[in-house]
A and B are shown apart, each in its own frame.
Chain A
Amino acid sequence: MNDKITNWTTSDDAMIENAIRRGASRRELLTMMLAGGVALSAGGLILGRASSASAATPKSGGHLKAAGWSSSTADTLDPAKASLSTDYVRCCAIYNRLTFLDKGGTVQMELAESIKSGDAKVWTVKLRSGVTFHDGKSLSSKDVVFSLKRHLDPAVGSKVNAIAKQITDVKDIDALTVEITLANPNADLPTILSQHHFMIVQDGTTDFSKGIGTGAFKMETFQPGVKSIFTKNPNYFKAGGANVDSFEFFAISDDNARVNALLSGDIHLAASIKPRSMKLVESQPGFVLSQTTSGNYTDLNIRLDLAPGNKADFAAGMKYLINRQQIQKSVLRGLAEIANDQPVSPASVYHNAELKPKAYDPDKAKFHFQKAGLLGQSIPMITSEAATSAVEMATIVQQSGSEIGMKFDVQRVPSDGYWSNYWLKAPVHFGNINPRPTPDILFSLLYASNAPWNESQYKSEKFDNMLVEARGLLDEAKRKEIYGQMQVMISEEAGTVIPVYISNVDAISSKLKGLEANPLGGMMGYAFAEYVWLDA
């Protein structure tokens, strides 16, 4: 679990854990935590850790049931098309990647034994031997070549087509060796390959409904939009394989219903619950909250090429007008970290801690709006449930604005179709960006002049050059420095207001053990099924 809580030290942790072992009541604990200056909502997290600390040996067996938050007939077992958390969970259960990220964000090898490159341009991947697919066939380099090349074919509809484009060639050198050639040097390739879309499927697969992979679970039932049931793969290449015998996963889209299902004991894990549900989970014994801050954020995008964003001071004013504290405290109930208007979160080693977030300052904001000549005008602001907490954020900005004479015409539009119709298009709108493992991916997708998702139409030649330079660097210190500067540039120059990094909170039954945080997202980077166990 992520430990970045203000004013909270390891010694505090120890005190609480001791208190629990002594048998302190919940109320005492809460008092203790309040005294420690922690937001009340964080209580459950610490409780969770303390109880899980007492039983650390995995147990085998049981039927794991977990619920995500969205699923539809578009559910797929094709990793390239995977778009929702439920897809990721399924893919993680039945497939493997060449690499994966551990809880510290470090690249670990999975199907690959090693990934090496001398120039960050041509990479050699050595595969593990003795890995078999669920149908008994052995994993070979041909499968890897097929799996990677798929993303380049537009007909596949791969979600990572934009990133995969830098791969110019994939060749099988021998049965267990693959050579990947990139258009330009990129030192992050091993991290890129840890993304869920780069799961390895069998060579020539066109029908993905069977879910043949190398993963810890075999697909038993897959009903799109209904549920999936998996059974443990006895021939899994990792020692011991999964702890649970079987695993059932589905989605409950209504937040309340998901929490209630957990509380009634129908499921062991309710993924991604809203902050407002925390009180309920905390009030019930036998449940804990698992928090992951992985760099997901909802941002207010001001297009710099359209009115009112084309007046330089408007974006600057908005950065002062957005009340980050209030968003952190009231909207997200402390399950967030205040951000400094740039996409690299503190979870990343490249995070520039020197760059401080702007404080809420209506007077400064007013000054900027006045300078832009926009004070008193009505500015349409598009928001949607599609972007986490964007509606609440919009109302907070609206309220702050009304206090200095800015009128924001908040227009909540349906989630349905939001990404294709409003996102990137409206002059002032909200977006939501999922965590990406490297600054390079974030910058090239979001801030490079030719970025496909340049939310604020930020254009800077200097920035583009720095991006290319950092990408090819194998010197970590130098890279970190360049990325640090780029973060400052985004924070000051781009039109994206990033108020907070939002933590993902999964509510789990205390029977579920072994769940850890992962920078790739909630539910242990969606791969929890393989690692967790059920304590009877």
Chain B
Amino acid sequence: MRTYVLGLITNRLGSSALTLLIVSFAVFFATAMLPGDTATILLGQAATPEAVAGLRAAMHLDEPALLRFGRWLIGLLQGDLGISYVNNVPVADLIGARFVNTMRLAGIVTLFAVPLSLTLGITAAMFRGSVYDRIVTIMTIGIISVPEFMIATSAVLLFSVYLKWLPALSFASDVTSFWQVMRIYAMPVITLTFVVSAQMIRMTRAAVIDTINTPYVEAAILKGASRWRAVLLHALPNAVGPIANAIALALSYLVGGVIIVETIFNYPGVAKLMVDGVSTRDLPLIQSCAIIFCVGYLSLITFADIVAILANPRVR
């Protein structure tokens, strides 16, 4: 079994490398298509031709883009994310703290959203067709249909402006106590939980319903098992595969898709960093962020596959 999982991981590493390379090239060409370069963007309205030429030379942007990209790729293989064009700081330093922030936020949201979604999804499946199931289903669809920025803004208005319970901004630094962490993260976590849970609830419900209708769940009931026991011990373990996949997709959103939440709560995460990178045409920064998102996505998907395999003795 172990060899199978190891084999799968090596296989995935190989295909991941291919995917990463594709992403890298795609990002490079997309960035190349963007009008202007770092020098013109930095100079903005002050971009006279000679000023642009001067700055370009000073920033070594006068070399061909492909050459710079190639050099960056080679650096990446040695674990070097390169130097930001804009402020000459190693990209790793720029990303470092923000990456920790992103992961922390994603982690806390996961902590809340996943158990919540599983509970709601499983119970809705158990009481399929009941009033409870209908309420859960309608609520999840309702929540899924509200734009993210609307949820976030409403939450700020309610909890910060009117009730003054929570801060409107979520700075990750200067937190000392657990209570403070809770306060600071409360609103982004609420917002993101709303955003990512709906899909997880739907998928969990569907996966559990699929397994509830199997002969082995019927067999468990005919052994005298209660409904709870039949669902939790017999149906659920076999629904782990699709549920893990849904969770992985939801969580991958938390890595790169939270730009709106980062903006509204002024949370310094990687998504905003990449937007900055795009707006200043900072190729090494854009590339590094894209690679991080891609790695995050691929490892989550792979992790979900491994979980599915571990949960299923037939394939391991």
Determine direct contact between A and B, CB below 8 Å.
yes
In the bound complex, do residue A157 and residue B160 qualify as a contact, i.e. CB atoms below 8 Å apart? no
CA of A19 to CA of B149, assembled, Å: 40
Q: Mark B17-44, 1 if CB is under 8 A from A, else 0.
A: 0000000000000000011100111111
Contacts of A263 in B (CB 8 A): 160-161, 168
Over the window 118-161 of chain B, the binary record of Cβ atoms lying under 8 Å from chain A Cβ atoms (1 yes, 0 no) is 00000000000000000000000000000001000100110011
**Do the beta carbons of B263 and A257 come within 8 Å of each other?**
yes
Q: How far is the CA of A76 from the CA of B88 in the complex (A)?
A: 11
**Stretch among A31-39, A224-232, A346-354, A365-373 lining the B interface:** A224-232
Residues of A within 8 A of B185 (CB): none
User: How many residues on A have C-beta within 8 angstroms of the other chain's C-beta atoms?
Assistant: 47
B45 part of interface (Cβ distance < 8 Å):
yes
Q: Which residues of A contact B166 (CB under 8 A)?
A: 264
Task: Find the B residue at minimum CB distance from A258.
Answer: B266
- In the complex, the answer to whether B168 meets A226 with C-beta atoms within 8 Å is no
Q: Judge if B285 is at the interface, Cβ distance under 8 Å.
A: yes
Docked-complex contact A162 and B39, CB < 8 angstroms: no
Distance in angstroms between the alpha carbons of A420 and B264 in the assembled complex: 28
Q: Are B266 and A73 in contact (CB under 8 A)?
A: no
Q: Given the complex, which residues of A lie within 8 Å of B41, measured CB to CB?
A: 74, 417, 420
Q: Are A73 and B285 in contact (CB under 8 A)?
A: yes
Shortest beta-carbon distance, B63 to chain A, in Å? 15
Bitwise, B165-176 to A at CB < 8 A (1) or not (0) is 011110100000
Instruction: Report the Cα distance A342→B278, complex, angstroms.
Output: 35
A73 pairs with B268, CB closer than 8 A: no
Bound state CA distance, A482 and B146, in angstroms?
Answer: 59
From residue A301, how far is it (CB to closest CB) to chain B in Å?
13
**Interface Cβ pair total, 8 Å cutoff:** 142
B35, B46, B167: the one contacting A266 at CB < 8 Å is B167
For chain A residues 223-273, which have a beta carbon within 8 Å of chain B? 223-227, 250-254, 256-257, 260-261, 263-267
Say yes or no: B54 contacts A417, CB within 8 Å.
no
Q: How far is the CA of A135 from the CA of B279 in the complex (A)?
A: 35
Cross-interface CB contact of B280 among A73, A157, A264, A284, cutoff 8 Å: A73
Point out the residues of chain A lying under 8 angstroms from B149, CB to CB: 254
Query: Judging by beta carbons under 8 Å apart, are A226 and B161 in contact?
Result: no
Residues of A within 8 A of B182 (CB): none
Closest chain A residue, CB of each to CB of B165: A264
Cβ contact within 8 Å between A257 and B160: no
Q: Does A83 interact with chain B (Cβ within 8 Å)?
A: yes
Whether B160 pairs with A260 at a CB distance below 8 angstroms is: yes
- Taken together as a complex, chains A and B put the C-alpha atoms of A419 and B40 apart, in Å, by 9
Residue of B164, B265, B273, B278 near A257 (CB, 8 A) is B265
Q: When the two chains form their complex, are residues B50 and A83 in contact, meaning their CB atoms are under 8 A apart?
A: no
A155 & B58 in contact (Cβ 8 Å cutoff)? yes
Q: Are B156 and A72 in contact (CB-based, < 8 A)?
A: no
Residues of A within 8 A of B157 (CB): 260
Please pick, from A75, A81, A155, A416, the residue contacting B57 in the complex, using a CB distance under 8 A: A155
Give complex CA distance A156, B156 in Å. Answer: 42
A-contact 0/1 string along B44-87, CB 8 Å cutoff:
11111011011101100000000000000000000000001011
Q: Which residue of chain A lies nearest to B166 when distances are taken between CB atoms in the complex? A: A264
Q: Do the beta carbons of A224 and B54 come within 8 Å of each other?
A: no
Instruction: Identify whether the interface residues of B are mostly helix, strand, loop, or mixed.
Output: helix
Our pick among A159, A224, A253 for the contact of B46 (Cβ within 8 Å) is: A159
A83 CA to B149 CA in the complex, in Å?
Answer: 28
Task: Give the complex CA separation of A403 and B141 in angstroms.
Answer: 43
Of A226, A264, A267, A420, the residue contacting B47 (CB under 8 A) is A420
Are A253 and B167 CB-contacts (below 8 A) given A74-B42, A225-B276? no
Asked if B305 is an interface residue, CB under 8 A from chain A, the answer is no
Known A266-B168, A417-B41, A420-B40; contact A160-B273, beta-carbon cutoff 8 A: no
A260:B156 contact, CB within 8 angstroms? yes
Which listed residue, B43, B55, B164, B278, touches A265 by the CB 8 Å rule?
B164
Q: With A and B bound together, what is the CA distance between A153 and B168 in angstroms? A: 43
Partner of B34, one of A72, A265, A417: A417
B57 touches A73 (CB 8 A): no
Cβ of A79 to closest chain B Cβ, rounded Å: 13
Residue numbers in A under 8 Å from B167 (CB-CB): 264, 266
Per the 8 Å Cβ criterion, residues 445-492 of A in contact with B are 452-453
Contact pick for A261, options B39, B54, B168, B280, CB 8 Å: B168
Q: Taking the nearest CB of chain B, how far is it from the CB of A462, in angstroms?
A: 25
Given known contacts A157-B43, A260-B160, is B266 in contact with A250 (CB within 8 Å)?
yes
Q: How far is the CA of A263 from the CA of B169 in the complex (A)?
A: 11
Q: List 27 A-B contacts (CB under 8 A).
A: A73-B86, A73-B94, A73-B273, A74-B86, A154-B50, A154-B53, A157-B42, A157-B43, A157-B51, A159-B46, A161-B48, A209-B87, A225-B268, A225-B272, A250-B266, A252-B169, A256-B153, A260-B156, A261-B160, A263-B160, A264-B166, A266-B168, A417-B34, A417-B36, A419-B47, A420-B41, A452-B48
Give 4 new A-B contacts, CB below 8 A, not counting A224-B87, A252-B169, A261-B266: A155-B57, A157-B42, A250-B266, A251-B266
